[in-house]
């Protein structure tokens, strides 16, 4: 029988994109942490940017000799309904933070703390769902809280409640400086990044792209305008559809909205249902978990929208830009750090503006091509996973024996 060879992506594979020197520098930094045992904890194994980054980043860590694991907490539907409300409130929404909600939240986390045995050299807890885990362990190394949410205007009451947990950590990682909160704990800022070798991001052949689109009966006779995002109000799917409808008064095109629902998000199904009524021959709304389809759509699109009204980072923006496709993104959060408006894409604050740029991009092939090239180059320079790996290595190498962080 033929033996199958399994392989994971290594830092050396990135050499064509990042150069030999960077590869060697990363490997040197990694050697200092050789045989460390690290664990990441979050609340969903798929759907959404956090799971996307963790699935590739944890493997890349292992490829440099650092034993890095990934655990996902479990919870009942009422737990996830509460944590989704908390998520929304951290992004500026309202919450009625009752004793009952706090009790369910803390009880479920206590149960998860019993079930997991976090005796690692470094523990990284992602987002608010597993945040109180820290209450139930004696530390054996630094604990880090990595919050991926747009924290520019969190509900004060909720933030005050979370602060008691957050300040037990030895470091906090936020996405942007503008999400900074007043804390005793040292803060650092990391922007997420993409894996250029994954099924979602690797270069597909024309044949592969056409096969995927055909499989889902997506017509390619007219230019494709695409938005890929979880079914979530913050992503403004209605706004994206409105922008498309305005644009098609002037140019013929097809709109595809591809979405999914994360396992920790009970609101997704409702948002999806509410969008079904918008379906038309040229407005295609799909709900599938298929990374190759995401890739095919982002590659084939003439323009990708990410019309969010709040966005921690917006991995979908970097993913589309990596394929040389110009993105029209909401002028919010992390999208602003990826798109330089007018150069490698467009930032917009209204449906009308989005429609205007859809029309321009469909009409002007030259503009599309130059923007697309710039978009790809900016992702190569700033948003590949090796950059994020190196930031984590620097952080892990900066803790002193008492877990104090010394930022140089
Ligand atoms: N995604 C997907 N299928 C979908 C919708 C989204 O695979 O139908 C992926 C998308 O490609 C990206 C991630 O989910 O990798 C979303 O991350 P982002 O940072 O854009 O937003 P989040 O969902 O974390 O708010």
Q: Beta partners for 225?
A: 255, 303
Which atom from ligand 1 is nearest to the alpha carbon of 317? Answer: 20
Inside any domain, residue 201 = no
Question: Is the beta carbon of 201 within 6 A of some atom in ligand 1?
Answer: no
Strand-pairing partners, residue 124, are 40, 144
Distance, CA of 220 to chain centre? 28
Classify residue 199: in a domain, yes or no: no
* Residues 214 and 171 reside in one and the same domain: no
pLDDT at 405 over 70: yes
Examine the domain organization and report whether 126 and 234 are in the same domain: no
DSSP letters along 37-59, please?
EEEEEES-SSSSHHHHHHHHHHH
Biggest alpha carbon–alpha carbon distance for the chain: 64
Residues 180 and 231 in one domain: no
Say what the pLDDT of residue 227 is: 98
53 lines ligand 1 (CB under 6 A): no
pLDDT score of 105 more than 80: yes
248-267: pLDDT as tens digits: 999 999 999 999 988 888 89
User: What tokens were used for 337?
Assistant: 């750090």
Cβ atoms of 154 and 181 closer than 8 Å: yes
Taking the centre of ligand 1 as the mean of its atom positions, its distance from the CA of residue 6, in whole angstroms, is 27
Q: Per the domain annotation, does 3 fall within a domain? A: no
Please check whether residue 171 is in contact with residue 403, taking contact to mean a CB–CB distance below 8 angstroms. Answer: no
CA nearest to 231, candidates 240, 222, 219: 240
As a whole number, the mean pLDDT across the chain is: 96
Looking at residue 266, its pLDDT comes to: 87
Q: Is residue 2 part of a domain?
A: no
Q: What ligand 1 atom has the least distance to the C-alpha of 291?
A: 7
Give Cα separations from 273 to 48, 211, 231, 242, 281 (angstroms). Answer: 19, 28, 10, 17, 18
**Is any atom of ligand 1 closer than 6 Å to the C-beta of 316?**
yes
Torsion of CA 240, 241, 244, 249, to 10 degrees: -150
86 and 161 assigned to the same domain: yes
Looking at the structure, tell me whether residues 189 and 215 fall in a common domain: no
Q: What is the pLDDT of residue 138?
A: 95
pLDDT, mean of residues 337-361:
98
Q: How far is CA 379 from CA 33, 38, 114, 173, 375, in A?
A: 28, 28, 41, 21, 6
C-alpha neighbours within 13 Å on the C-beta side of residue 332: 20
**Mean per-residue pLDDT for 42-66?**
96
Q: Which tokens is 228 given?
A: 């890929």
Across 302-306, average pLDDT = 98
The count of domains in the chain is: 2
> Which of 46, 52, 263, 299 to mutate to test ligand 1, by most ligand atoms within 8 A of the CB atom?
52
β-strand partners of 254: 224
CB atoms closer than 10 angstroms to residue 286: 18
Domain assignment present for residue 6? The answer is no
Q: Which residue has the higher pLDDT, 26 or 264?
A: 26
Closest to 228 (Cα-Cα) out of 296, 312, 277: 296
Amino acid 47: pLDDT: 84
Q: Which of 55, 228, 317 to mutate to test the pocket of ligand 1 (most atoms within 8 A of CB)?
A: 228
Q: Within this chain, do residues 167 and 22 fall inside the same structural domain, yes or no?
A: yes
Q: Ligand 1: which atom is nearest the Cα of residue 52?
A: 15
Are 158 and 239 part of one and the same domain?
A: no
- Sequence-separated contacts (24+) of 345-354 with Cβ below 8 Å: 345/317, 345/321, 345/371, 345/375, 348/307, 351/239, 351/242, 351/243, 351/246, 352/243, 352/246, 354/239, 354/240, 354/243, 354/247, 354/305, 354/307, 354/328
Q: Are 69 and 58 in contact (CB under 8 A)?
A: yes
How many other CB atoms are there within 10 angstroms of residue 216's CB atom?
15
Pocket test of ligand 1: the residue of 196, 230, 269, 290 to mutate, having most ligand atoms within 8 Å of its CB, is 230
What gap in Å lies between CA 335 and CA 192, rounded to an integer? 11
User: What is the average per-residue pLDDT within 75-91?
Assistant: 95
51 Cβ inside 6 Å of ligand 1: no
Cβ atoms 109, 41 nearer than 8 A: no
**Cα 221 to ligand 1 centroid, rounded to whole Å:** 26
Distance (angstroms) between ligand 1 centre and the Cα of 372 equals: 20
26 and 135 housed in the same domain: yes
Picking from 195, 193, 201, 247, the residue whose alpha carbon sits closest to that of residue 224 is: 247
**43-47, 96-100, 218-222, 328-332: which range is least confident on average?**
43-47
Q: What are phi and psi of 280, to 5 degrees?
A: -145, 180
- Confidence grade of residue 46 (pLDDT, cut at 50, 70, 90): confident
Same domain, 226 and 123: no
As a whole number, mean pLDDT of residues 171-194 equals: 97
Same domain, residue pair 147 and 230: no
Average pLDDT of the segment spanning 400-407: 84
Do 257 and 272 sit in the same domain of this protein?
yes
Domain enclosing residue 238, as ranges: 206-382
- Alpha-carbon distances of 289 from 54, 192, 320, 340, rounded to whole Å: 17, 21, 17, 30
Ligand 1 atom with least separation from CA of 334: 19
Q: Which residue is listed with tokens 């803390």?
A: 106
**Same-domain pairing of 150 and 244:** no
Mutation choice for ligand 1 from 176, 196, 316, 318, CB with most ligand atoms inside 8 A: 316
pLDDT of residue 247: 98
* The pLDDT value given to residue 404: 87
Residue 198 lies in a domain: no
Rounded to an integer, the average pLDDT of 271-278 is: 95
pLDDT band at 1 (very low <50, low <70, confident <90, very high): low
What CATH number does the domain containing 167 carry? Answer: 3.40.50.2000
- pTM assigned to the model: 0.96
Residue 408 confidence class, pLDDT cut points 50, 70, 90: low
Give me the percent of the chain exceeding a pLDDT of 90: 94
Q: How many whole angstroms from 288 Cα to the centroid of ligand 1?
A: 12
Residue 4 lies in a domain: no
> Residue 406 domain-assigned?
no
* Alpha carbon distance, N-terminus to C-terminus of the chain: 54
Tell whether the model's pLDDT for residue 2 goes beyond 80: no
């Amino acid at each position: 029988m033929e033996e199958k060879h399994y392989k994971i992506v290594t830092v050396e594979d990135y050499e064509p994109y990042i150069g030999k020197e960077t590869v060697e520098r990363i490997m040197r930094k990694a050697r200092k942490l050789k045989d460390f045992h690290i664990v990441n904890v979050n609340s969903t194994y798929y759907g959404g940017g956090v799971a996307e980054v963790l699935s590739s980043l944890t493997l890349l860590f292992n490829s440099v000799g650092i034993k890095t694991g990934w655990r996902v907490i479990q919870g009942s539907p009422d737990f996830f309904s509460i944590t989704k409300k908390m998520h929304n409130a951290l992004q500026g929404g309202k919450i009625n933070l009752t004793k009952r909600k706090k009790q369910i939240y803390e009880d479920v986390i206590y149960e998860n703390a019993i079930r997991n045995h976090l005796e690692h050299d470094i523990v990284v807890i992602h987002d608010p769902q597993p945040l109180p885990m820290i209450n139930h362990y004696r530390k054996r190394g630094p604990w880090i809280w990595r919050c991926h949410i747009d924290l520019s205007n969190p509900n004060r009451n909720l933030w005050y409640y979370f602060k008691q947990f957050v300040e037990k950590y030895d470091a906090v990682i936020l996405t942007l400086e503008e999400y900074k909160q007043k804390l005793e704990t040292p803060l650092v800022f990391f922007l997420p990044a993409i894996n250029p070798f994954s099924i979602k991001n690797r270069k597909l052949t024309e044949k592969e792209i056409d096969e995927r689109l055909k499989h889902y009966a997506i017509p390619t006779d007219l230019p494709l305008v695409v938005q890929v995002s979880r079914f979530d109000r913050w992503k403004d799917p209605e706004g994206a559809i409105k922008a498309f409808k305005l644009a098609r008064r002037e140019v013929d095109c097809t709109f595809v909205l591809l979405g999914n629902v994360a396992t920790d998000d009970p609101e997704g199904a409702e948002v999806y249902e509410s969008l079904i009524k918008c379906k038309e021959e040229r407005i295609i709304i799909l709900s599938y978990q298929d990374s190759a389809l995401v890739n095919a759509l982002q590659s084939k699109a003439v323009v990708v929208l990410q019309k969010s009204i709040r966005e921690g980072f917006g991995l979908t923006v970097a993913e589309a830009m990596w394929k040389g496709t110009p993105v029209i993104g909401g002028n919010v959060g992390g999208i602003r750090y990826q798109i330089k408006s007018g150069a490698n894409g467009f930032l917009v604050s209204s449906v009308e503006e989005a429609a205007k740029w859809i029309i321009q991009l469909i009409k002007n092939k030259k503009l599309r091509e130059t923007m697309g090239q710039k978009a790809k180059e900016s992702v190569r320079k700033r948003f590949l996973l090796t950059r994020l790996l190196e930031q984590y290595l620097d952080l892990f190498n900066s803790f002193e024996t008492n877990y104090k962080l010394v930022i140089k």
